[in-house]
Structure 1
Amino acid sequence: MSVKVKFLPDDVTVIAEVGEPILEVAKRGGVFIPTGCVMGSCHACEVELEDGTPICACISAIPSTTNEFIINLYSDPVW
């Protein structure tokens, strides 16, 4: 099943498959998400879902629960 993934604030849309890693989808769309440990511990890759829920992009995949998935990117000045 294909899911339309929208990366905000740049409004970049990428078609992804359910279960595909978010970092891979972002990379394919030319969207940079910083990484650190790539295990979810350091939170360098933390992004927010449309409802404000934070997730670590390095350990998260495209869910099967929706046909559109919105990810809000933000910069952490500490990183």
Structure 2
Amino acid sequence: MSVRIRFLPDDVTIDAEVGEALLAVADRAGVSIPTGCLMGSCHACEVELDDGETVRSCIASVPPGRETVTINLFYDPTW
């Protein structure tokens, strides 16, 4: 099942499959999400979903049951 993913603040949209890793989707879309440990411990890759949930994109995937998901990127100058 395909889900339309929209990355803010740059307003980049791409289709992704349920279960696909968020970092892989961002990479395919040309969107850079900072990473650190790639295990979810450092929180460098934290993003906010449109429902207000904050997830670590290195360990999160495209959620099921949604037609669209908006991802708000945080920019931390320390990464």
Q: Same fold (TM over 0.5)?
A: yes
Aligned residue number for residue 31 of structure 2: 31
Aligned length: 79
Unaligned runs of 5+ in 2: none
Q: What SS class does the counterpart of residue 42 from structure 2 fall into?
A: coil
**Counterpart for residue 74 of structure 2:** 74
Equivalent in the alignment of 2:49: 49
CA displacement 1:32-62 (0-9 Å, x = unmatched): 0010000000000000011322100000000
Aligned AA for 2:16? A
Q: Specify the code of the residue in structure 1 equivalent to 2:67.
A: N
TM-score, reference length from structure 1: 0.95
Letter in 2 for 1:7: F
Task: Indicate the RMSD between aligned Cα atoms, in angstroms.
Answer: 0.8
TM value normalised by structure 2 = 0.95
SS in structure 2 opposite 1:14? strand
AA paired with 2:37?
C
